[in-house]
Amino acid sequence: MAGKTLYDKLWDSHVVREESDGTCLLYIDRHLVHEVTSPQAFEGMRLAGRKLWRDSSVVANPDHNTPTKDWDKGIEDPVSRLQVETLDSNIKEFGALVYFPFKNVNQGIIHVIGPENGTTLPGMTVVCGDSHTSTHGAFGALAHGIGTSEVEHVLATQTLIAKKARSMLVKIDGVLGAGVTAKDVALAVIGRIGTAGGTGYAIEYAGSVIRGLSMEGRMTVCNLAIEAGARSGMVAADDKTAAYLKGRTHAPKGANWDAAVEYWKTLHSDADAVFDAVVEINGADIQPQVTWGTSPEQVLPIGATVPDPSKETDPTKRTSIENALKYMGLTANMPISDIKLDKVFIGSCTNSRIEDLRAAAGVIKGRKVASSIALALVVPGSGQVKRQAEEEGLDKIFTEAGFEWREPGCSMCLAMNADRLAPGERCASTSNRNFEGRQGPGGRTHLVSPEMAAAAAIAGHFVDIRSQA
């Protein structure tokens, strides 16, 4: 019998019951909760007179609707305020292991605070009513988004009804060139397999490039698994995983730590494991990426030119290129480096961790944001990231260059708070989605790495980070 994949191991260790058609009841270890997808779930619990099955599994925090400046003024928008206050009252009533209310010094994006507080651990099943829960798979965990009715099911029973996905190995070997980041790896994978390429699969990212990434980088890669169509992305646990977690508030301590680390060593695919699909990419071929269209798969290396629909023979693809160019206000065949920006956003659960801010600051240090840029924003992923960055003086580097240094939250990643694009505005963004209106109605989003966003802010247009040494 062939060995097991990491996904098999995580799945098998959480099956409570399996039906003859393969439908399983899976035990859920960690339940992340934010204000957008939890209100109806808590309301359902209340109406049924239920209590949480295990309130110590819940880590909660508002992030999508919270403002990123003038916190003393509270939340201006009444709908956003109601969402956030509802989460407050629900957690008060039902309980949680960790709750960082609005303005708490540790508040942040749920996918940033989970790992940094040691509440995401290898071997766990992690769910949240949020598609970017795939981020947590970076720890050798089975992590994916769930719908609001499933949120209620997990709150009530600590289980989820699920069917196993097929397994896909995305193996990236070799070494990355200078200036090429985890974000470029993630976008290059999507460029290769498409946004539907991972549909029905659980992706394991492996190979020397993935091993070489920091935990922050692995989180960036897994964060974008959902944009490749896979609900979950994962990376085997290793020494870096343990080193990242050691000493974190909710990580195991003492003898429990030692036992946990021993167990975590088993959380990798066996050498003879068989995957349903395998994609191999040479890390040396990956270049800094920029999305030019309205889907993450509409992505090209910085040195490329914008696609020409007249050269596309497939009529469906031709129409989608034409539509994207029209929405994005771009001309066929123009160099990507000629695309001029109005705004720059460094943040989101993809790229708002300390390593991302260090990398962006490294590009910006001693330089100024171009006068043509209307707004350049840096939004740390959490209060902890913000404090660390300030200790290192990164905030000064950003503000001296002309960036605004904000409070943590989802911010301009999506238009659910005050940070958004005006119609027609063009933004270099370190986030993960670029569909029409994502950052505000009529807004135009180009997804890039923090380094590429920083360099674009200085130049006013996209530039090859490799020419900026």
Ligand X SMILES: CC(C)[C@H](C(=O)O)[C@@H](O)C(=O)O
Of 306, 425, 439, whose CA–CA distance to 373 is shortest?
A: 425
Binding of residue 130 to ligand X (CB under 6 A): yes
Per-position DSSP letters for 206-274, written without gaps between them:
ESHHHHHS-HHHHHHHHHTTGGGT-SEEE----HHHHHHHTT-TTS--HHHHHHHHHHHTT-S--TTB-
Per-position DSSP letters for 83-139, written without gaps between them:
HHHHHHHHHHHH--SEE--TT-TT-B-HHHHHHHTT-S-TT-EEEESSGGGGGGGGG
Candidate list 24, 45, 414, 457; residue touching ligand X; CB under 6 A: 414
Binding of residue 36 to ligand X (CB under 6 A): yes
Handedness of CA 243, 246, 252, 253 (dihedral sign): positive
Candidate list 137, 140, 145, 301; residue touching ligand X; CB under 6 A: 145
Choices 145-153, 175-183, 304-312, 407-415 (CB under 6 A): range interacting with ligand SF4: 407-415
Tokens of 217: 């980088």
The DSSP bridge partners found for residue 273 are 3
35 or 395: CB nearest ligand X: 35
According to the annotation, is 427 in a ligand binding site? no
According to the annotation, is 410 in a ligand binding site? yes
- The entry of ligand X, ligand SF4, none that residue 417 binds, CB within 5 to 8 Å by partner kind: none
Distance CA 209, CA 221 (A): 11
Backbone angles phi, psi at 225, to 5 degrees: -60, -40
What DSSP element (H or E) covers 317?
helix 315-328
Binding of residue 351 to ligand SF4 (CB under 6 A): no
Choices 304-312, 387-395, 409-417, 453-461 (CB under 6 A): range interacting with ligand SF4: 409-417
- The entry of ligand SF4, ligand X, none that residue 431 binds, CB within 5 to 8 Å by partner kind: ligand SF4
Binding of residue 159 to ligand X (CB under 6 A): no
- The entry of ligand SF4, ligand X, none that residue 348 binds, CB within 5 to 8 Å by partner kind: ligand SF4
Q: How far is CA 171 from CA 143, 282, 346, in A?
A: 20, 8, 28
What's the min distance (Å) between Cβ of 331 and ligand X? 29
Binding of residue 453 to ligand SF4 (CB under 6 A): no
- The entry of ligand X, ligand SF4, none that residue 144 binds, CB within 5 to 8 Å by partner kind: none
Residue 25, classified by CB atoms within 10 Å of its CB into exposed (0-12), middle (13-18) or buried (19+), is middle
- The entry of ligand SF4, ligand X, none that residue 66 binds, CB within 5 to 8 Å by partner kind: none
Handedness of CA 373, 361, 420, 294 (dihedral sign): positive
Per the CB < 8 A criterion, the answer to whether 295 and 195 are in contact is yes
67 or 145: CB nearest ligand X: 145
Binding of residue 348 to ligand SF4 (CB under 6 A): yes
Distance CA 49, CA 442 (A): 44
According to the annotation, is 413 in a ligand binding site? yes
Binding of residue 64 to ligand SF4 (CB under 6 A): yes
Residue nearest ligand X, CB atom distance: 131
301 or 409: CB nearest ligand X: 409
- The entry of ligand SF4, ligand X, none that residue 37 binds, CB within 5 to 8 Å by partner kind: ligand X
Binding of residue 37 to ligand X (CB under 6 A): yes
Candidate list 59, 176, 182, 414; residue touching ligand SF4; CB under 6 A: 414
Binding of residue 349 to ligand SF4 (CB under 6 A): yes
What's the min distance (Å) between Cβ of 432 and ligand SF4? 5
* Torsion, CA 351, CA 353, CA 354, CA 358, rounded to 10: 0
* Cβ neighbour number for residue 441 with a 10 Å cutoff: 13
Binding of residue 66 to ligand SF4 (CB under 6 A): no
Distance CA 57, CA 154 (A): 10
* Cβ neighbour number for residue 56 with a 10 Å cutoff: 13
Query: What are the residues binding ligand SF4 (CB under 6 A)?
Result: 63-64, 109, 111, 130, 132, 348-349, 410, 413-414, 431-432
Which residues are annotated as part of the binding site for [4Fe-4S] cluster? 349, 410, 413
Query: What are the residues binding ligand X (CB under 6 A)?
Result: 36-37, 64, 130-132, 145, 414
